[in-house]
Amino acid sequence: MERGKHAIEIENLRFQWRQGVPVLDLPRLCIGRGESVFIKGASGSGKSTLLSLLGGVLLPQAGTVSVLGQRLDELGSTRRDAFRAEHIGFIFQMFNLIPYLSVLENVLLPCRFSSRRRQRIAQQGLQPEDEAVRLLEHLDLPAMLLHRSVTELSVGQQQRVAAARALIGSPELVIADEPTSALDADRCGSFLRLLLKESASRDSTVVFVSHDARLEGYFSRSVDLTGINRAALEG
């Protein structure tokens, strides 16, 4: 996992959902370790598709995607699943949480499926529960919510729980797909600050996509997908 200083390296990636309708055609895109990158693009421009490719849920028809120096196409689907579970945390637009689990249980979910994330916590001499509590505290969630059902939380609180869950066990990469689209401007700002501060303290790379260009100021770098996507330029 040490080779390559890039967290993400994309070469000549081409992807289409349907024959003859290319969605993505990216000659090159590199994201360094520890960077926090904002990827903007209009709705339907292929942002979510790109994130699925980064997560190895989809494989490109041509070109390569490497994450943490590992070419995803070289892994079988089972190993890709494992790789994703160990190294990547995800936050989605909404309904990120399992409704029948409490706040704490939701945050602990990745630890149930990844031994590496458990080990990372253990290396700090902590129990997963301690780490979850600490994260939630850093993300400004009152401790009294820990054992509540997630359905009782506000949308902003739910997204912070999702962020804590993405960050637990310090995965190298955090992928966020418009997690703030349901938040108002104030709460959106505070959410981003907390997320980025927490991921920076863990040296996690953040890839954040949104169509809302106003958010790019929070990130160390901004990439305009439409600008580098040849499929969009042609279409």
Partner 1 sequence: MYILTLALKSILNRRSTVLLTIVSLALSVMLLLGVERLRADMRESFANTLSGTDLVVGARSGSVQLLLYSVFRIGNPTNNVSWESYQDIRSHKLVAWTVPLSLGDSHRGFRVLGTTPDYFRHYRYGGGEALQIGRGRVFDDLYDAVIGADVARELGYEVGQQIVLAHGAGDVSFVQHDDKPFRVVGILERTGTPVDRTVHVSLSAIEAIHLGWDSGAPVPGRQAGAARIAGQDLEPKSITAVLVGLKSRIAAFRVQRFINEYREEPLLAVLPGVALQELWDTLGIARQALLAISALVVLVGISGMTTTILTGLNERRREMAVLRSVGARPWHIFVLIVGESGVVMLIASVLGVGALYAVQWIAHPLIQSAFGLSLPVHALSAHEWKLLAAALTAGLLVGLVPAYRAYRYSLADGMTIRI
What is the binding site for Mg ion (CB under 5 A)? 48
Relative orientation angle of helices 103-113 and 155-167, to the nearest 10 degrees:
30
The smaller minimum CB distance to ligand ATP, of residues 133 and 176, is found at 176
Out of 20, 76, 99, 125, point to the residue binding partner 1 (CB under 8 A). 99
Q: By CB under 6 A, tell whether 44 contacts ligand ATP.
A: yes
Chain positions 112 to 141 lying near partner 1, rule: CB under 8 A, are 112-114
Chain positions 163 to 182 lying near partner 1, rule: CB under 8 A, are 165
- With tokens 């790789």, the residue in question is 83
Minimal distance in Å, beta carbon 30 to ligand ATP? 21
Produce one character per residue of 195-225: b if its CB has 16 or more CB atoms within 10 Å, e if not. Answer: bbebbeebebbbbbbbeeeebbebbeeebeb
Q: By CB under 6 A, tell whether 22 contacts ligand ATP.
A: no
Q: By CB under 8 A, tell whether 60 contacts partner 1.
A: no
**Angle at the Cα of 106 from the Cα atoms of 103 and 109, rounded to 5 degrees:** 150
Residue nearest to Mg ion (CB): 48
Contact yes or no for 25/4 (Cβ under 8 A): no
Produce one character per residue of 68-81: b if its CB has 16 or more CB atoms within 10 Å, e if not. Answer: bebebeebeeeebe
Footprint on this chain of partner 1 (rule: CB under 8 A): 48, 52, 55, 57-58, 78, 81-82, 84-86, 90, 92, 95-101, 109-110, 112-114, 165
